[in-house]
Amino acid sequence: MGGRHSKASRGRRISLEVRRSVDADEARQLRAMGLIHGEFVTFARALLWLVEPNQHSLCAFSLACRSFRYHAAKHVSSLRVNIAPSACAGDEIRNACASFPHLRKLRIVGTTGAVVQRLFRARHEVVDGALYAIALGAPDLTSFEMWQCGRVTDAGIAALLEPTTCSPLTNLDLAGCRLLTDSAVLVIAERATELRSLSLFACDLVTSAGVAAVARSCPFLTRINLSSCTRIDDESLRAIGENCPLMRTVDFHGCSREWRAARCISDAGVRALARGCRELRNVDLSECINIGDAAIEALVSSCGRLETLLLGCCLISNKALVAMGRLPELRVVDVAFPNHVRGAHGVTVLVSHCQKLRSLNLRGCMIPEHSLSMIAEWCGESLRHLMLTPRGALEGGSSGAVCAQEEEGFSDESIAALRDACPQIEVDIGPSSRAQGCVGLVAALIT
């Protein structure tokens, strides 16, 4: 490789495919390119992206040699590992981490889908021992993300956060690690008190007890993702509100899909959250079907700098839209398939007062066609994405909450007129069925 290649590799984004062997033709090609020097790296079968922050140039290699690794490793601070669906040995991961002495960020993306596993006839790819290997091989990590690694258990998280080997993490993302329970979350609360960001997306064995412990121990949290954690309730929101005053982003998408369940997220929990987290900017309560106007009123009153409100399938009415009109910084709004949004009044107030809107989802809202002209007038310059329901697509229901009249929805002519008036707006007439828009709400409304 020599000095020329080592200089070229510095501060660049490098795509590195690691293999155990190379055939003769590939070897000749690599020698012709000047990329073969010394022995080949023999890590686990994987694809690694080595990213140096603030650099955008790309230098692609099919294989790495010892010389390249030696010169490039000291410039690498971020590493992403896409692991094939075969077992990944802890020693190999530790060697990979140890090769980069200044590693601060590590992302592992698993492929645990049933179809992929059957295709490769392999087991899950990341097990608890690999996390202990990471703790040993990369003691200076501040950011660790592990997605869809479905075999990792509470013991693996305890090994990763072993006090004798782990530096203080500020970002921890365990999305899709479905075997994790409150035991793992309690370890996080005890050993990762410097966290700024935590994702437990789809960790559906985690309950409010674990979330409350994290909130009490991690006062610097600014972002928490509990989407699809169906065992949490208002206790979690109260704990976050009482202990995390710096919180800016919360995601509770799909946490309460059962109508009037004994334990769920309700207006009371959102009020407690809003009282304590006045710096909130982004809130996702989609598919929390027990949320109504009172929750939105509380958020608007306490969190005046909200930028994103996602309320798809919540039980809101025009009253909530009028309240949102008091949020001048609002940029993204999703009120798809609400229970009682009818007429033009709520949308008129929203678009006339929130003129920084860039994305607006009105699917399933029973509003008149002339609302489109108001949207074009008030938000024509800022709006970039608008989602609507076409005429005749709204489905009926015995509760009367959904109107099936042909005059509801928007005609092709009115949508075409909007596109002509505001060509920069992307109008999406995608899935319009209520059942497609909100899982579980139809059954709740007809009981």
Tens digits of residue pLDDT in 86-95: 444 455 566 6
For position 140, what pLDDT does the model report? 85
Strands in 19-119 per DSSP E: 46-51, 58-61, 78-83, 105-109
| Per-residue pLDDT at 330 | 97
Rounded-to-integer distance, Cα 378 and Cα 222, Å: 32
| pLDDT at residue 26, as a whole number | 47
Please identify which residue in the block is written with the tokens 């793992």: 184
Q: How far apart are CA 256 and CA 359, in angstroms?
A: 25
Give 349's Cβ-side CA count (13 Å radius).
15
Higher pLDDT, 366 or 12: 366
What secondary structure letter does DSSP report for 8? H
Determine the 3-state secondary structure of 417 from DSSP.
Answer: helix
Question: Which range, of 98-107, 177-186, 224-233, averages the lowest pLDDT?
Answer: 98-107
Residue 157 confidence class, pLDDT cut points 50, 70, 90? very high
Model confidence pLDDT, tens digit, residues 141-155: 899 999 888 888 999
Average pLDDT estimate for 267-287? 97
Q: Which of 13-17, 80-84, 107-111 has the lowest mean pLDDT?
A: 13-17
pLDDT of residue 352: 92
Distance in angstroms (rounded) separating the CA atoms of residues 380 and 355:
9
Q: Which residues are 59's β-sheet partners?
A: 14
**Mean pLDDT score of the chain, rounded to an integer?**
75
pLDDT, tens only, 339-393:
688 889 999 999 999 989 999 999 988 888 888 888 888 887 899 999 988 765 5
pLDDT of residue 407: 45
Contacts of 179 (CB under 8 A, 6+ apart): 150, 151, 152, 153, 154, 205
- Pick 415 or 207 by higher pLDDT: 207
pLDDT at 409: 66
Buried b (16+ CB within 10 A) or exposed e, 284-303: bbbbbbbbbbbbbbbbbebb
Q: Give the separation between CA 54 and CA 349, rounded to whole angstroms.
A: 41
Give pLDDT, residue 317. 94
Structure tokens at 270: 């959102």
- Please state, in angstroms and rounded to a whole number, the distance separating the CA atoms of residues 424 and 437: 25
> What angle, 0 to 180 degrees and rounded to 10, lies between the N-to-C axes of helices 267-276 and 293-302?
0
| Greater model confidence, 267 or 415 | 267
Percent over 90 (pLDDT), the chain: 44
Evaluate whether 297 touches 325 at the Cβ level (below 8 Å). Answer: no
- Which sign, positive or negative, has the C-alpha torsion 271, 273, 279, 281? negative
CA–CA gap between residue 303 and residue 300 (Å, rounded): 5
Q: How much is the pLDDT for 90?
A: 56
227 has pLDDT over 90? yes
Q: Is the pLDDT of residue 42 over 60?
A: no
Of 3-7, 212-216, 231-235, which gets the smallest average pLDDT?
3-7
Token readout for 407 is 């005059």
Q: How far lies 217's CA from each of 85, 211, 212, 375, in Å?
A: 35, 10, 9, 45
SS3 147: strand
99 vs 345, residue with greater confidence: 345
User: Tell me: the pLDDT tens digits for 302-322?
Assistant: 999 999 999 999 999 999 999
Residues 78 and 102: their CA atoms lie apart, in Å, by 9
Handedness of CA 378, 423, 312, 112 (dihedral sign): negative
Please list, in sequence order, all residues whose beta carbon lies within 8 angstroms of the beta carbon of residue 375, skipping any fewer than 6 positions away.
347, 351, 360, 383, 386, 418
Tally of helices (H runs) and strands (E runs) in the chain? 18, 16
What is the structure's pLDDT at 178? 92
The answer on pLDDT for 123 being more than 60 is no
Total residue count of the chain as it appears in this document: 447
114 falls in which pLDDT band (50, 70, 90)?
very low
pLDDT attached to residue 307 = 98
Write out the H or E segment, with its range, that includes residue 249. Answer: strand 249-251
Share of the chain above pLDDT 70, in %: 65
The candidate with the shortest Cα–Cα distance to 286, out of 323, 255, 332, is: 255
In this predicted structure, what is the pLDDT of residue 65? Answer: 46
Whole-angstrom Cα distance, residue 282 to residue 424? 25
| Domains annotated on the chain, with CATH | 307-447 (3.80.10.10)
Comparison of pLDDT for 434 and 347, the residue scoring more = 347
